[in-house]
């Protein structure tokens, strides 16, 4: 894992209960009691997986590998098929080694700058507060920049979360130039020897050209002070939105270079399967997942443990 010490498997497992019921329990009901698994049963499993937002390409690979397995192995039991499904789901995330947020890496790149993007309502503000809290608990100095100046309420919300996390915030009035906020927070971080800078950005997506220009300007201003920054650009998406989450990743990928994803509100949704589809199609690593409303409920993502939680073991 990384530097957060708040991983709670039981909470992750509990939060993914509806996703587990939609995927794993449905498959178990389909194959339960059958002595062998035949092609007809695999077709039924395929329908369940496709309806669970996992994505056609991933489902096709699971089913084809299972068909090969049926032809080459004598064990056509429920346990064997479930094992095949589980292995394929874990392999979806195997597309390279994502950057690990270890303490040495962050301190080496001090101040370590994280740019947060995402549509309004996805959970950006709460994610920033939770990230700040976790980084601070790891012994790092953190500062937040309120560069979403488009919404009047954005600064107020972020200010509340910064206070909860116990970190400093740099902000300006409604309508201020977002890049000026970014410049000020970086300048403050350098002068105050801050470890981590987290910058909020506007959540507009209806005008991609304007959004791209705004994000580009923020990056140019940051790089005047810190060449090579930001170190990360994280897209926050709401796990409840299913296929809409995939569309958001596709659109934001067109306007900025994403280094990772934060999936919020996974607790209580049956649409957690969309994570597999997003990663299979976009090859962008999931860095953090939200499994509750508490300030400690943002966890670092682990592919194997995530799949284990879906399977309930």
Q: Is pLDDT above 90 for 125?
A: yes
pLDDT (average), residues 57-65: 85
Q: Is pLDDT above 80 for 1?
A: no
pLDDT tens, position by position, 254-303: 888 999 999 998 887 788 888 999 998 899 999 999 988 889 899 999 99
Q: Is pLDDT above 70 for 65?
A: yes
Q: Is pLDDT above 60 for 205?
A: yes
Mean confidence (pLDDT) of the chain: 88
pLDDT tens, position by position, 206-248: 566 788 889 999 999 999 999 999 999 999 999 888 888 888 9
Distance of CA 10 to the CA centre of its chain: 19
| Higher-confidence position of 206 and 143 | 143
What are 198's strand-pairing partners? Answer: 114, 144
Kindly give, in sequence order, each residue whose CB lies less than 8 Å from that of residue 228, ignoring residues fewer than 6 positions away. none
pLDDT value of position 152: 76
Go through the domains of the chain in sequence order and give each one's CATH number. 9-91 (1.20.120.140), 103-258 (3.40.50.300)
Q: Considering Cα of 307, then 66, then 68, then 36, what sign does the dihedral take?
A: positive
């Amino acid at each position: 894992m990384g530097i957060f010490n708040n991983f709670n498997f039981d909470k992750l497992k509990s939060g993914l209960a509806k996703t587990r019921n939609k995927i794993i329990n449905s498959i178990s009901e389909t194959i339960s009691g059958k002595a062998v698994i035949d092609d007809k049963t695999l077709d039924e499993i395929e329908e369940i997986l496709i309806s669970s937002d996992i994505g056609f390409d991933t489902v096709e690979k699971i089913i084809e590998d299972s068909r090969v397995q049926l032809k080459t192995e004598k064990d056509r039991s429920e346990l064997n098929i479930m094992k095949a499904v589980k292995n394929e789901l874990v392999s979806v995330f195997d597309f390279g080694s994502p950057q690990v947020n270890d303490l040495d890496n962050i301190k080496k790149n001090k101040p370590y700058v994280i740019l947060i993007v995402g549509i309004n309502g996805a959970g950006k503000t709460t994610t920033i507060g939770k990230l700040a809290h976790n980084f601070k608990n790891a012994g790092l100095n953190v500062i937040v920049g309120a560069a979403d100046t488009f919404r009047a309420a954005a600064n107020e919300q972020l200010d509340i979360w910064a206070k909860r996390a116990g970190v400093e915030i740099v902000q300006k009035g409604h309508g201020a130039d977002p890049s000026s906020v970014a410049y000020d927070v970086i300048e403050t971080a350098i002068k105050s020897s801050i470890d981590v800078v987290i910058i909020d950005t506007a959540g507009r997506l209806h005008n991609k050209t304007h959004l791209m220009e705004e994000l580009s300007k923020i990056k140019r201003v940051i790089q005047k002070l810190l060449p090579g920054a930001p170190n990360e650009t994280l897209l926050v998406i709401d796990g409840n939105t299913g296929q809409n989450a995939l569309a958001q990743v596709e659109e934001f990928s067109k306007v900025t270079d994403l280094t990772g994803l934060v999936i919020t509100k996974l607790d209580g949704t049956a649409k957690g399967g969309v994570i597999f589809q997003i990663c299979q199609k976009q090859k962008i690593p999931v860095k953090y997942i939200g499994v509750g409303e508490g300030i400690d409920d943002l966890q670092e993502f682990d592919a194997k443990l995530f799949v284990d939680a879906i399977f309930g073991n």
